[in-house]
Chains A and B, each alone.
Chain A
Amino acid sequence: KAGVTQTPRYLIKTRGQQVTLSCSPISGHRSVSWYQQTPGQGLQFLFEYFSETQRNKGNFPGRFSGRQFSNSRSEMNVSTLELGDSALYLCASSLDGGRSTDTQYFGPGTRLTVL
């Protein structure tokens, strides 16, 4: 079974631009969570989608948004990029997401660099 895929793998943008990242979960998985990983803050939860609905949101500004499509694929968008947005963005999928016990499997990540 194919794992979680993320595109693009690498991205370079300049301040003020916006960016869209894509995530395809493992086949059959309905929950997609997004995380930001930086050397200083570690892995931080952005938001989680299930059945095209955002169910949970972390403590990030409104510039960070996302959506999920009917095939469970998800996108996240960051508008008005700041230097501090440079990070590894990770997507994780889980089978149901309805329980905190569900195991999350991570994709390879998108490395975003903001200049």
Chain B
Amino acid sequence: QKEVEQNSGPLSVPEGAIASLNCTYSDRGSQSFFWYRQYSGKSPELIMSIYSNGDKEDGRFTAQLNKASQYVSLLIRDSQPSDSATYLCAVGGRSQGNLIFGKGTKLSVKP
């Protein structure tokens, strides 16, 4: 059974701090990794995708991938209250069109 694990949180950080979200996955053959943000009552919104080992930066967001450790993370710098949401880690399965999601980490950024 292919799994994606995330700490459910809640993770609470003060405004301006760095929030670190982590995810592990079980399928070594996974090739694609995504972070989605989901506000309460809304649908998931893509933040980042990463396919190769290392870091990928986009504005305040940095995704990190380590395939050997089967680990992917998301760093949010200068966290804002508007970043408060549930962050979903998704892994592209070997089959087409199938993303395997973790259950999400709830992030709360306190003013």
Contacts and interface: CB of A to CB of B under 8 A. Distances in A.
Tell me whether chain A's interface is mostly helix, strand or loop, or mixed: strand
Contacts, number: 79
A56 B31 contact: no
B93 A100 contact: yes
Instruction: Give the interface size class of chain B.
Output: 20 to 34
B51 interface: yes
Contacts of A81: none
Contacts of B51: 101
B32 A55 contact: no
Instruction: Give the interface size class of chain A.
Output: 20 to 34
Contact of B100 (A45, A90, A103, A105): A45
Interface string B52-95: 00000000000000000000000000000000000010101111
A45 B98 contact: yes
Interface in A32-75: 33, 35, 42-45, 48-50, 55-56, 58
B45 A48 contact: no
Contact of A100 (B36, B46, B98, B103): B98
A55 B97 CA distance: 8
A90 B94 contact: no
A101 B33 CA distance: 8
Interface of B: 30-32, 34, 36, 42-46, 49, 51, 88, 90, 92-104
